[in-house]
Structure 1
Amino acid sequence: MSIFSGIWVPLITPFADGEVDHAALRALVRRYADAGIAGLVALGTTGEPAALDAAEQDAVLATILDEAQAVARGAVDAQARAQALPVLVGVSGNHTASMKERIGQLNSLPIAGVLMAAPYYIRPSQAGIVGHFMALADASDKPVVLYDIPYRTGVRLELDTLLTLAAHPRIQAVKDCAGSLDTTLALIRDGRLQVLTGEDINIFNTLCLGGSGAIAASAHLRPERFVALYRALSAGRLDEGRRIFHALVPLIQALFAEPNPAPVKALLAAQGLIRDELRMPMTRAGDALVARLMALEGLDRMEPQTVALSA
C-alpha cells in the first residue's frame, strides 16, 4: 500500500503572544501519533504558512520532524521504531524557479514528500501547469502530492492534466479538493495516483469509491474516530463506517462554517491544547460558532489555555 493512504492531519501552527508555540506544536504531533493517524502535513494551508516568514517556516518544520522522530524512538514496537511518522511538506508559490530552490532545500530532510498546489493568482494554461509541476517533480528527490484546490488558486487541474502528470515517477498522489465526482472517480479508476480527499465532508464517499484516504483538518478533533472510520471502510465494514461518519458530520460542518483554521483553533483552545491565536488577515472564530463547537464537543466553558504551553 502507498504511504499516501489513511488519515493525515494538516497541522495548525499554534501561536502564543504572537510567536510560534513550539511546545504546543510538539504536544499536537504526539497527540495525533498516539491517535493512530497515518501522517502529518506541515505548512499546508491549515498551518497558515503565508503568515510565517522563511525562518519561522523552517523552525515549524524542524519541530514537527523532530517530534515525529522522537515518537518513533519511543515506540515499543520494533517496526514503529524503524520509521518516524511521515511528514508531508506544503510548498506554495507561483514562481517556478523559487519553488525549485525551496524543494532543493527540502531534499536533504527526512520528509515523506512535498504537497504542491497550482500556481495561484496568475491562472496559467493547463500546458503551463504541466510544465510547472514537471519541473518541480524533476527537482524533487521525494514524492510529490498534487493539490487541486481551484477555489484558492483560481485554476483547476483538468483531468487530462492530472493524467499527464501521473506519468512522472515522483508524482504519486493528489489532494482532491476540486469538487468533481467525475474527476475523482476517473483518477481512482486510473489507479496511478493515490486519491486523498481534502474536502472533509467527502471522506466517506471517496473511501467508498476506492480512494486512499484524506488530508482532513477536522481530524484535529476526535482523531481516533477519523482513524476508526478509515479502518472500518478499508475493512469493508460499511455499516460501522456509516455510523461513525454520520456522527462526525455535524462537527465537520461546524469546523468549516468560518474560514479554516479559525474554528479548529477555537476548539483546540477550548480543550486547553493551544491559545486561540491567528495572524492577520485571519481572525478568530465568532462567539456564536465557538459556542456551537463547544456544545458539539460537550464543553461548557473555556479550559485554561496553559496546558500545552510550557516547555
Structure 2
Amino acid sequence: MSVFSGIWIPLVTPFSQGKLDLPALQRLAVSLLARGADGLVVCGTTGEAPALSQEEQLQALDAVLEVVPAAKVVMGLAGNHMPSILAMQDAIMQRPLAGLLVSAPAYIRPTQASLVHYFTQLADRSTVPLILYNVPYRTGIALSWETLQQLSDHPRIVAIKDCGGNPELTLDLINAGKLDVLTGEDTQILTVLALGGTGAITASGHLCPEALATLVKQVQAGDLPAARATFYGLLPMIRLLFSVANPTAIKCALALHGEMEPDLREPLLPCPPEVEQALRDHFNLHSR
C-alpha cells in the first residue's frame, strides 16, 4: 500500500509585519485537512523556507503539529552546509511527523555519486520516511534514473516529488513501482494520476482542496471523463496562481479570501496589481 498518496499541500508561511503569523498558519492547516487534503508539507518551497531561519522553520513545524495529526505532516529539509543540515534533521527528528521532503543541494550541482551519498547519509540518519524532491530548475541538478533506482533500494526512501520535467523518467518511476510518485507540477496532476502515480504535492490545493480530492476519487474509480472535466475546470486557476513567482499569487488569493495577510519575504515582491485583479475576477471578489 502507498505510504504517500492523494493530495498533499505545501503550506504557505503566513507573515504579519515581518514575523511568522502562527495562528494564521494553524487555521490554514486545520482548514485544508477538513476540506479534503490528505496531508501537509511544512517549509517547502511554497513555504518560503530559504527565507526562514532554522528557528522559524521549527516554530512553524511545532505550530502545525499542535493542531493536526503528526501522520499528516511532512517537513521540508534543504541546504548546502552539511553540518547544519544534519543538525536541523536531528532537531526535526525530535518531533513526531510522517516524513521529510528532501531536495538536492542548490547551486552546487553535485555529481550523481555525490547525490547518492547525500541522500543516503540523510536516510541512514532518519527515523521517518524520506520523499526525494527532484526539482532541477531550482537546484541546478536532476536526479538520474540510475541514481533514483539506487536510492529507491534504501528502506527509508519511499517516495518522490517529481518536478524533473522529464516525462520519460516519470513513466519509468511509476512503472517500476518502487517509489510513490507524487507530481509537484500542478498542471500534471491528472496525467500522473491517470498513469498510476499516487498523488500530488500541489500548491494550488490551497484554493481548491475539495476539487482535487474529488479528482483523485474520480481517477481511482476509473471515471476519466469526470476527472477531465474536473481538471480542466481547475486549469485556468492553476495557471493564474503560477503566473508569478510562487507563492506570490497564492498568498494574495488567500488574503483576498480573508485567511491571512499577503506578506512575502524578500527578495519576493508583492503581487502585481494586474494579477491581483485577475484573482479578484476569477474568484468573484469585489475590491474592499
Normalising by structure 2, report the TM-score.
0.98
CA contact (8 A) 2:3 2:180 kept: no
CA displacement 1:80-127 (0-9 Å, x = unmatched): xxxx55100000112333322222222221110100101111100000
Q: Distance in 2 between matches of 1:237 and 1:127?
A: 43
Q: Distance in 2 between matches of 1:277 and 1:107?
A: 30
| Helix, strand or coil at the partner of 2:46 | helix
Match of 2:145 among 159, 168, 184: 159
CA displacement 1:218-255 (0-9 Å, x = unmatched): 00002111111111112211111111000000000001
Q: Distance in 1 between matches of 2:91 and 2:2?
A: 25
- Residue type at the aligned position of 2:47: G
| Helix, strand or coil at the partner of 1:164 | helix
Aligned to 1:246: 232
Q: Distance in 1 between matches of 2:166 and 2:84?
A: 31
Aligned to 2:7: 7
- Residue type at the aligned position of 2:193: L
Q: Distance in 2 between matches of 1:131 and 1:286?
A: 42
CA shift, 1:30, in A, is: 1.2
Confirm whether residue 299 of structure 1 aligns to residue 282 of structure 2. no
CA contact (8 A) 2:54 2:88 kept: no
CA shift, 1:271, in A, is: 0.5
- Residue type at the aligned position of 1:257: S
Aligned to 2:67: 67
| Helix, strand or coil at the partner of 1:293 | helix
Q: Could you say if the C-alpha distance between residues 85 and 273 of structure 1 is closer, same or farther in structure 2, counting changes exceeding 3 Å?
A: farther
Q: Distance in 2 between matches of 1:280 and 1:209?
A: 38
- Residue type at the aligned position of 1:224: E
CA contact (8 A) 2:79 2:85 kept: yes
Q: Distance in 1 between matches of 2:237 and 2:258?
A: 18
Confirm whether residue 263 of structure 1 aligns to residue 232 of structure 2. no
CA displacement 1:158-193 (0-9 Å, x = unmatched): 111111100000000000001111000000000010
Unaligned runs of 5+ in 2: none
CA displacement 1:240-290 (0-9 Å, x = unmatched): 111100000000000100000000000000000011100100111101011
Single out whichever of 141-150 and 96-105 deviates more from structure 2.
Answer: 96-105
CA contact (8 A) 2:181 2:198 kept: yes
Aligned to 2:121: 135
Aligned to 1:178: 164
Confirm whether residue 95 of structure 1 aligns to residue 81 of structure 2. yes
Identical positions, percent: 44
| Helix, strand or coil at the partner of 2:170 | helix
CA contact (8 A) 1:194 1:212 kept: yes
Aligned to 1:72: none
| Helix, strand or coil at the partner of 2:75 | strand
Confirm whether residue 41 of structure 1 aligns to residue 41 of structure 2. yes
Aligned to 1:229: 215
Q: Distance in 1 between matches of 2:38 and 2:130?
A: 17
CA contact (8 A) 1:38 1:85 kept: no
Aligned to 2:20: 20
Q: Distance in 1 between matches of 2:81 and 2:178?
A: 27
CA contact (8 A) 1:40 1:85 kept: no
Aligned to 1:308: none
Aligned to 1:80: none
Q: Could you say if the C-alpha distance between residues 28 and 85 of structure 1 is closer, same or farther in structure 2, counting changes exceeding 3 Å?
A: farther
Unaligned runs of 5+ in 1: 70-83, 303-311
Normalising by structure 1, report the TM-score.
0.91
CA shift, 1:23, in A, is: 1.1
Aligned to 1:309: none
- Residue type at the aligned position of 1:137: A
Q: Distance in 2 between matches of 1:167 and 1:24?
A: 39
Q: Distance in 2 between matches of 1:97 and 1:192?
A: 30
Q: Distance in 2 between matches of 1:102 and 1:256?
A: 30
Q: Please tell me the root mean square deviation across aligned C-alpha atoms, in Å.
A: 1.0
